[in-house]
Structure 1
Amino acid sequence: METKMFKTATTDLAAAAELIKKGQVVAFPTETVYGLGADATKESAVKKVFAAKNRPSDNPLIVTVANVDMVKRFVSEIPTIAEKLIANFWPGSLTIIMRYNEGALSPIVTGGLPTVAFRLPASDVTRQLIALADTPIVGPSANTSGKPSPTTAQHVWHDMQGKIAGIVDDGATSVGVESTVIDITTDVPTILRPGAVTQEALEAVIGPVNSEHRKVGADETPKAPGMKYRHYAPDVPVYMVTPEAWPAAIIWAQQQLEPVGIMAPDEVIEANHLAGMDFVWSLGTDVTTANAKLFAGLRYFDERDGVETILVHHFANEGVGLAYNNRLGKASSGQYFDADM
């Protein structure tokens, strides 16, 4: 299959939207990561997304919309809590799980559950594309399942060239990690995946919110992506490094026969005289920039010949650090650097 590259001009977006209307898969940019778009109402189109990603069939998909009216096509009513969240966080990096009208969407979109996840992204390009297609689209990350999510069109091309019909290129994403997912069908609204919209921000709008960052059981269908299967992982081992462990980690890295990739904030790089050295990836000045640079760094080292290990900075587990550590924890399988390893 030929994969076409599209820019963000209206004519390009119209051509990409036509492909979606015809049941094809087109990768699209958002403020979080690039997604794989296909008509959420066409089962045959959605199956192509699963095939392109090699994604497990019980992993539900997020339905990405251009406006709130598209949500109303699938639900009897939008609950009051959802209305408050929509008013405060849409368009934006928040995905809301609601109950939907039975039969309104294919079971392969919902994983056979009575709930579905909706998102209205902040990206003007994405919303324009969906509006031109005149249909909500599924929107899983545009990468091979289990690998680091794509934050540039080039990342998508690497994984999806020849597998999908098109890619809309809007440059690098600004947030860099997937949206926060909140389930409002539980007694207390529950965060199933942390993201840029923090628990504190949500509680300021709707009151108490639970947090459930876990993997589900082998026989259990997850309500949201990222809860059951290995995610975000390069082919080589990744280890988390706490701030105080960096001096020992750098000495260890220098003693290895094969190159070790180091991903750290500028403060660590400068304090340990690593600036300008090969196999060093800057995570920027703080955890917000680190979120935007994490997946790109993991991909960079995964594709570099000879790199056998990647060491990555671990931030405090608070605020947007929860989202960062969630993705890094999955990429590393929870492994921390140990000088004796």
Structure 2
Amino acid sequence: MNGNQLDTAAKIIQQGELVAFPTETVYGLGADATNESAVKKVYQAKGRPSDNPLIVTVSSVSMVETYVASFSDDAKKLIKQFWPGSLTMIFKLKPHALSKTVTGGLDTAAFRFPNNQLTLDLITKAGVPIVGPSANTSGKPSPTTAQHVYHDLNGKIAAILDDGPTTVGVESTVLDMSVDTPSILRPGAVTKEDIEAVIQRPVMDELHHVGMSQTPKAPGMKYKHYAPDAQVYIVDPDDNWQEVADWIGAHQQPVGVMAFNDVINSIDWPKNTDVISLGDDAKSAAHDLFAELRDFDNHKQYKIVFAQGLKPTGIAEAYMNRLNKSAGQMHFKQL
């Protein structure tokens, strides 16, 4: 990426158009967060429900201070430890600081300071914060490469900044700092344990969903997310993978499998199985999840995909959060 291309992308943002941008987690879809008509184009390009609030992506703490009344001592500690990085924090806004189109009508907004220099330079050059939902069709697996963005949004946005594959692979942790007890609304690579170690007090971690009549404070809490065209079934840790292979063998259609290498190597898979590795641990599984779901999407013959479930601890909690939503809470034992 040369300077002229970055200048062009910044001008596109200033002109009220859309630019997809890289972060360490997934690719985001950027528009001037202070331009209501530009923000509306994000909802239109993604096909995103209008009550699903947008994360505001910034290139400095001072940019957040323009919109947020104050930071608590805990927030200051977390900012020092995790920004730039994959922690998004929700704060109460100054009155009328941001459009309701950004906030979903709430008096709070989520702010993210990503660990990607290209995007930080883009925001600094544009001179405004940008909204930053994932750069994909709403409800589909999030994009971890520029090619994923092109597949979903070609013709709907003005530009894509390509910085190669993302390094984390699942969206940032969303932490609500607008309430008395900080609450994780979406798990990510920054874990509950990481946060508690910094602020030295408990964090709530059970608020990942809201009802259909409620306005979510963070993305991913209400609507179907991360789902490929195939139906995903979770193979739980206590399930028998040989029974999965036997089920596949008893059926004629092509079936996808996503699992750790030790599982893959322990089974004599039927010929109608397409097996993709999740690596050897939860970190690699989280990194590869969206890309592999998209890979099956690119081959329309797959109607069923079996994916390895993990005990939800550490980053495996983020992996299981996304996998459960991809599967619509469907499990192998339900077949």
Q: Structure 2 length normalisation: TM-score?
A: 0.96
Which of 195, 199, 202 is 1:208 aligned to? Answer: 202
Evaluate the alpha carbon distance shift between residue 18 and residue 275 of structure 1 in structure 2; reply closer, same or farther with a 3 A threshold. Answer: farther
The yes-or-no answer on 1:221 pairing with 2:218 is: no
Map 1:175-254 → 2, pairs under 5 A: 175-206=168-199, 207-243=201-237, 244-254=239-249
User: Cα offset for 1:274?
Assistant: 5.5
Distance across 2 between alignment mates of 1:56 and 1:116: 17
SS of corresponding position for 1:191: strand
CA contact (8 A) 2:170 2:318 kept: yes
Letter in 1 for 2:212: A
| Letter of the 1:203 counterpart | E
Tell me how far 1:254 sits from its aligned partner: 2.4
Per-residue CA shift, 1:45-80, capped at 9, x if unaligned?
000000000000000000000111110111222222
Q: Which residue of 2 aligns with 1:149?
A: 142
Alignment correspondent of 1:261? 256
Q: Residue type of the partner of 1:229?
A: Y
2:330 corresponds, among 316, 320, 335, to: 335
Task: Give the 3 Å change call, closer, same or farther, for CA 249–22 of structure 1 in structure 2.
Answer: same
User: Counterpart of 2:109 in structure 1: which amino acid?
Assistant: V
Q: Is the 8 A contact 2:57 2:113 kept in 1?
A: yes
Amino acid at match of 1:61: L
Question: SS state of the match for residue 211, structure 1?
Answer: coil
Instruction: Report the Cα distance in structure 2 between the residues aligned to 1:217 and 1:336, rounded to whole angstroms.
Output: 22
In the alignment, which of 16, 28, 44 is matched to residue 23 of structure 1?
16
Q: Distance in 2 between matches of 1:296 and 1:12?
A: 27
Alignment match, 1:4: none
**Cα-Cα RMSD:** 1.5
SS in 2 for 1:279: strand
Deviation at 1:268, TM superposition (A): 1.1
- Give a deviation string over 1:119-138, Cα, whole Å, max 9, x none: 00011111111111111000
1:1-341 alignment to 2 at 5 Å? Answer: 8-206=1-199, 207-243=201-237, 244-273=239-268, 279-338=274-333, 341=335
Q: Distance in 2 between matches of 1:57 and 1:264?
A: 36
Distance 2:207 2:170 in 1: 15
Distance in 2, matches of 1:11 and 1:309, equals 45
Structure 2 partner of 1:5: none
The question of whether the paired residues in 2 share the 8 Å contact of 1:94 and 1:181 is answered with: yes
- Partner residue of 1:3? none
Q: Find the aligned partners of 1:212 and 1:53 in 2 and give their Cα distance.
A: 28
Worse-superposed segment, 150-159 or 206-215: 206-215
Tell me, what secondary structure is at the counterpart of 1:210? coil
Question: How much does 1:184 deviate?
Answer: 1.0
Deviation at 1:273, TM superposition (A): 4.7
Q: Deviations over 1:178-222 (max 9, x none)?
A: 000000111110000000000000000112100124321122110
Could you tell me whether the CA contact under 8 Å between 2:143 and 2:291 is conserved in 1? yes
- Distance in 2 (CA, whole Å) between partners of 1:283 and 1:298 is 11
Q: Is the 8 A contact 1:20 1:38 kept in 2?
A: yes
Contact 1:239 1:336 in 2 (8 A): yes
Cα shift at 1:245: 2.3
Q: Aligned letter for 1:195?
A: G
State the identity %: 55
- After superposition, the C-alpha distances for 1:210-242 in whole angstroms (9 at most, x for unaligned) are 012432112211000000100001122100012
Letter in 2 for 1:93: S
Distance in 2, matches of 1:309 and 1:327, equals: 17
Q: Post-superposition shift, 1:276?
A: 11
Q: Which amino acid aligns with 2:21?
A: F
TM-score, with length taken from structure 1: 0.95
More off after superposition, 239-248 vs 300-309? 239-248
- Structure 2 unaligned residues grouped into runs of 5+: none
In structure 1, distance between residues paired with 2:253 and 2:267: 20
Query: How far apart are the structure 1 equivalents of 2:23 and 2:273?
Result: 31
Distance between the aligned counterparts of 2:250 and 2:293, measured in 1?
22
State how far apart, in whole Å, the 2-side matches of 1:275 and 1:75 are: 57
